[in-house]
Amino acid sequence: MDLDPGLRDILIAILSLSFLVFVALFGHVPALRKTPIGWGHHFMWKIMPGWFITIDMKLTGGRVVRTIKGLFNYVMYEKHPLIQLFYLGLVTGGLYLFYLGAWDRLWSTFHTIMVPIVASLPYITLYLASYTDPGYILPENHRGAMKLYPFDYINFKPGYHCSTCRFEKPARSKHCPICKHCIAKQDHHCVWINNCVGHKNVKYFFSFLMSTNIILLYGFYLTSIMIHRLVVESLPVGTDMSKVGWGLYFNQFMLCLVLDVSLGIVCLLCMMTGLMSIGFTGYHFYLLWAGTTTNETFKWSDWKEDIAADEVWMARDPSRNPYTGRWPSSGPLNAYNWPVQTDKLVYRIVNPEEMEYLDKHLVWNRVENINELENIYDIGFWKTLESVVWDLKF
């Protein structure tokens, strides 16, 4: 394939940059931890900063690092709209370029009606996801929050208190240091929406993801067809398109993309961010399917490592479950009618002396495989989806 060297360099630069951004943002995901992507992430966030700190200590006595740390702490641990504004800037900028380069080229009334509708979706869903209560647990609704999910006695055990909020932590909740509250069924704190994703706003988070995917796919579809038409026009009149080789076609496509700048930027932007956005959405659908949350996947991956280190012990305690025999077959799901129950107890024992603290009336066995630990929150994809759409009020 004879690709113009200038175009090839641009392509290589764009691809390498996307790869680096991917490593920086997603290299910490448990599945990637022991891969070159995970090592790259470690190098970027741990080893390189170490070198930088050493050099700064020598040159300025650490002043640059202190300033960066202050900024970093603000960006990472305070509520601020920087990333929201970045998102809005990308969407608005993209739409403006679309208006400049593509609006007049729309070929049917259907699209002139659809474009404004699709364009408004990210603004509406971003607003909903950002400004809906993700499920703040307050003293006045704490009792209700405790009844949302049963304890699984693996990742969530009763009797643990949040040191900031000063109440018992409900199952599946997590204290968010940025939102400064415990959040019911906390998934993660999302910088794109400047809010936690939790029990009450996860449906808006999904609609935000979906509307981002839709605008990017639709934008890519429209602009790539327009560029295809430019390619056809750029070839000699009467060229049989079925005889044009992939190499020539691709070359012409890239050339038109660069020549018609606004159209080209929209097309490339939609393609690259679209891949990321769809991958991220796919990951969240996987979490629904697995009946888990981002927060819980980190806990599960810790258990996996602890099991490999022979540190996890399990016992059955049939006398424990207070809800046995009280399982209504219908009604909204909550801790009292949760369809899956477990009588297992799971503990991590690092030092052999800690075995003393385990209940001596029970028979303790070492866990050999993660599959022995049951995820009671996995009630199937459709039920989980239903609980996302029709969240229980508390």
Q: How many residues bind Zn ion (CB under 5 A)?
A: 10
Indicate whether 29 belongs to the interface with Zn ion (CB under 5 A). Answer: no
CA 378 – CA 18 distance, rounded (Å): 34
Q: How far is the CB of 77 from Zn ion (least distance, A)?
A: 10
- 135 alpha-carbon distance from chain centroid: 18
For helices 82-101 and 261-290, angle between their N-to-C axes, nearest 10 degrees: 130
Q: How far is the CB of 302 from Zn ion (least distance, A)?
A: 20
Say which of 165, 190, 267, 270 is annotated catalytic. 190
Q: How far is the CB of 206 from Zn ion (least distance, A)?
A: 17
Kindly identify the residues of this chain, within the stretch 159-218, that bind Zn ion according to CB under 5 A: 162, 164-165, 175-176, 178-179, 182, 189, 196
Kindly report each contact of residues 37-41 with a partner whose C-beta sits within 8 Å and lies 24 or more positions away, as own/partner: none
**Helix, strand, coil share (%) of the chain residues, nearest 5:** 60, 5, 35
Is residue 137 within 8 A of residue 184, CB to CB? The reply is yes
The sign of the CA dihedral 77, 81, 83, 84 is: positive
Q: Is 190 a catalytic residue?
A: yes
Nearer to Zn ion, 164 or 365 (CB): 164
Nearer to Zn ion, 146 or 182 (CB): 182
CA 382 – CA 285 distance, rounded (Å): 11
Beta bridge partners of 190: 195
Please name which of 332, 345, 338 lies closest in space to residue 374, comparing C-alpha atoms.
345
User: Token pair of 32, please?
Assistant: 């990637």
Q: How far is the CB of 152 from Zn ion (least distance, A)?
A: 19
Nearer to Zn ion, 126 or 312 (CB): 126
Q: How far is the CB of 392 from Zn ion (least distance, A)?
A: 20
CA 49 – CA 43 distance, rounded (Å): 9
Nearer to Zn ion, 146 or 196 (CB): 196
User: Token pair of 207, please?
Assistant: 């609609």
Is residue 94 within 8 A of residue 207, CB to CB? The reply is no
Is residue 49 within 8 A of residue 24, CB to CB? The reply is no
CA 251 – CA 246 distance, rounded (Å): 8
Nearer to Zn ion, 179 or 333 (CB): 179
Nearer to Zn ion, 139 or 318 (CB): 139
Name residue 123's amino acid.
Y
User: Token pair of 213, please?
Assistant: 């995917």
Q: How far is the CB of 179 from Zn ion (least distance, A)?
A: 3
Which residues does the annotation mark as catalytic?
A: 190
Judged by the rule CB under 5 A, the positions of this chain that interact with Zn ion are 162, 164-165, 175-176, 178-179, 182, 189, 196
